[in-house]
Homo-oligomer: A and B are copies of this chain.
Amino acid sequence: MKNEKDKIDLADANFPTAKHATLADVARHANVSAMTVSKVLRGVGSISKDTRARVKASAEALGYVTNGIAGALSAKKNTTVGIVIPSISDSVYSEIISALSDSLTEAGLTLLISESNFSGQIEERQIRMIMSLRPAALIVTGGIERSISAEKLLKRYPAPILQLWDADNPFGDATIGPSHLQAGRIAAEHFLKSGLNKIAYVGAELSKDICARLRLEAFRERLAEENIALECFVDEASPRQAASGETLVNQMISSGYKPNAIFFLNDSMALGGLRALLKYGIKVPDEVSVLGFNGTSRLNTVQTQLTTISMDRRAIGTTAGVALRAILDGKKPEKIPPTKLHILSGTTG
């Protein structure tokens, strides 16, 4: 590598791969000091109308884009917010992120998003990676088995930490999301009030998903109070998707067990389960009531409308964004109530 100075050549400013113009370049062009340019561009300090205009023109002419890296290092302030979610492509999280991103963008903050694929180990790596960029705040998702070291890392990070999704296990300065224990109870009540009493649960990969376990646990407990036993069909090795739901229900029915109600880990699995039930000619909801969780498949369905437990996912993102902005503004974190859950009634029970 050469070490020659290659300051931007003003004449070259429009050349495609010209180097970035710096504050000093703009200053030279406007015949003022770098400090003055900095102030004008940030809109601080008092600068004469005249210089202000000249500086702005020069910046424009040179296509100056401020260097946030240098700014962050110098001011020890950063405009990025890091977030780690289990999966970007799962609409449950992406809707939250989308709303959150909108809210943060309004405040001039940029989101650094990464995914953990529900793995505590990957999560830790991602947290490290993101932390090295010294974000103004860090947002993590509850419900996965977080490593001890990741937790330690988060606890000592000198900036706000928020947690999403798992209101039953608060973490950091604020936690925004539904209570999955409550979801489980709602599911149980839903079946109970229809007098259903032969009940099954279908899920997958529970070892990776604490929230799903909480739902199941509360569901089972509430049923136990009514002396109803719960039959579980869970495959730890399959993904939490439609195909797995279909397979598990196939197994259930062909094993000779036929419940009158099934609670699924999520909507996808419920849809798969529905396919299997229909294949066996089982009437839904007359013979078997089916309940999902999340309210995500609703929009993508033609005839059958899955009955499911739903919530306003965008609201989670927006609430998190608003809370974070408040904390960053120095307000002290308020306790945020769990996101409201409701049964979205469909045609499946």
A210 on interface, CB distance cutoff 8 Å: no
Contacts A94-B89, A111-B114 given; does A131 touch B301 at CB 8 Å: no
A126 on interface, CB distance cutoff 8 Å: yes
**Complex: chain B residue closest to A296, CB-CB:** B300
Contacts A98-B89, A268-B300 given; does A112 touch B80 at CB 8 Å: yes
A304 on interface, CB distance cutoff 8 Å: yes
Considering the chains assembled together, what is the distance between the CA atoms of A90 and B158 in angstroms?
34
Which listed residue (B17, B112, B274) contacts A110, Cβ 8 A? B112
Quick check: which of A70-78, A191-199, A227-235, A247-255 contacts chain B, the rest being far away? A70-78
Give how many copies assemble into the complex. Answer: 2
Decide if B94 touches A158 in the complex (CB within 8 Å).
Answer: no
A299 surroundings in chain B (CB, below 8 A):
241-242, 268, 271
A72 surroundings in chain B (CB, below 8 A):
69
A304 surroundings in chain B (CB, below 8 A):
302-303
A19 surroundings in chain B (CB, below 8 A):
158
Residues of chain A from 112 to 136 with CB closer than 8 A to chain B in the complex: 112-115, 125-126, 128-134
**A220 smallest CB distance to B (angstroms):** 27
Residues of chain A from 4 to 21 with CB closer than 8 A to chain B in the complex: 14-20
**A268 smallest CB distance to B (angstroms):** 7
A66 on interface, CB distance cutoff 8 Å: yes
A positions within 8 Å CB-CB of B: 14-20, 63, 65-73, 78-80, 87-89, 91, 94-95, 97-98, 101-102, 105, 108, 110-115, 125-126, 128-134, 152-153, 155-156, 158, 241-242, 267-268, 271, 274-275, 278, 296-297, 299-304, 306
19 other A-B residue contacts (CB within 8 Å) besides A69-B72, A278-B302: A17-B158, A65-B131, A68-B133, A69-B69, A70-B73, A73-B73, A80-B112, A88-B94, A88-B97, A89-B95, A91-B91, A91-B94, A108-B129, A110-B130, A278-B303, A296-B300, A302-B302, A302-B303, A302-B304
